[in-house]
Amino acid sequence: MDRHTTLVTGATQGLGRGIALDLAARGHAVLLHGRDRARLDAVAAEVREHAPGAPVRTYLADLADLDQVRALAAEIAAAEPRLDGLVNNAVAGGGAEPLRREFSAQGHELRFAVNHLAPYALVRALLPLLTASAPARVVNVASIGQEAVDFDDVMLEDGYEGLRAYCRSKLAMIMATFELAVELEGTGVTVNALHPAHLMDTEGVRAYGLDPLVGVDEGVRPTVRLLVDPELGGTTGRYFDQYTDARAHEQAYDTGARARLMELTHRLLGLRRGSEGCARTGRSGANRVPTIQ
C-alpha cells in the first residue's frame, strides 16, 4: 500500500506537533513545516523517535512572507512525488500585545496574512501536486471565534485588537474553504475547515493571557479524523466544530461576501481569478453554494 504523505504547517509546537506525532504513528510520511530551524529539527527528531518507521522531512519558511510561502510550495513540489494531505495549522494568535498592530513582509495586517492569505496561497500553489495525488484532503484549522470581515476596513485599521483580527482572519479562512471546495468539485481533492478544540494548552492561548481548558490531544483527534476517516473521503466544503458538522458565521454563506473576499485575496496575492483549479476541472463554480449542513 502506498504510504500517505501529509504536510503539516506550524508543526514545531502545540497542535501541529501533536498532529505530526499522530500521523507518523499511523505510518504516514510527514512533512514538517516551521519557521525556526532549531525547533523544526528538534520536532523532527522527536517524531522520528516516536515513529521510527515513518519518513519525516522538514521545510523551513516564514508564512508571514508570501515570497517564502511561494518558495515553500515550489520546494515541496520539486522534492515530493505526492501529497495526500495538507493541514493548514500555522497561526498568528491574538498576540501578547493585542493592541499593537503587526504587519507581514508585504505590509498586510499580520493575522489576515498568516491565517488567511498564506494558507490560501499555499493550497493554490500545491494544487497540481494535490490533484495528481488524488484522492487528497486539505484541512484548514480555523476557530469557533469568528467575526465578520468588514470590507471597508479589512485590515482592521480602525479599533484594532489582536483577537478581533484573529477572529476575522479565521472566518476569512472558512469562506475560502467553501470557495475552494466548490471549485475543486470532481478533482478528488476535498477541502474542509474545523474548530479543533476550545482553548487548548498552546503557546498562543497563553500568550494572549487566557487560561487553557483542554490539552492539545483534544484538538489532534478531530483534525486527524478529517484526514484519515474513510467515511469522510467525499466530504468537502464543511465547517466542523470538533467532530460535529456545524454552521459557521452567517457571512460564510453570503455568496456576495465570499466573492468580494476572493477578489481581494487574489488581488493581494497577484493571482488571476480562476486560473488554476477551475482551468483544470473546466468548472467556474465561483458563485455556487456548497452543501453545508
AA letter at 47: V
Type of residue numbered 113: A
C-alpha cell at 127: 494544487
Residue 58 C-alpha cell reads as 522538514
Q: Quote the DSSP letter at residue 253.
A: G
Residues 147 and 164: their CA atoms lie apart, in Å, by 7
Give residue for cell 487553557. Answer: 212
Residues 6+ apart with CB under 8 A from 29: 3, 4, 5, 6, 54, 55, 56, 57
Q: Give phi and psi for 16, each to the nearest 5.
A: -60, -45
Catalytic-labelled residue, pool 166, 239, 243, 253: 166
User: From CA 114, how far away is CA 102, in angstroms rounded?
Assistant: 11
Residue 109 gets which letter from DSSP? B
What's the rounded Cα separation, in Å, for the pair 247 and 174?
11
Nearest to 81 by CA among 152, 132, 37, 32: 132
Q: Is 166 a catalytic residue?
A: yes
Distances (CA, A) of 286 to 36, 169, 186: 37, 20, 15
What is each CA distance from 260 to 45, 166, 176, in whole angstroms?
43, 19, 11
Report the alpha-carbon distance of residue 153 to residue 4 in Å, rounded. 41
Catalytic residues: 166
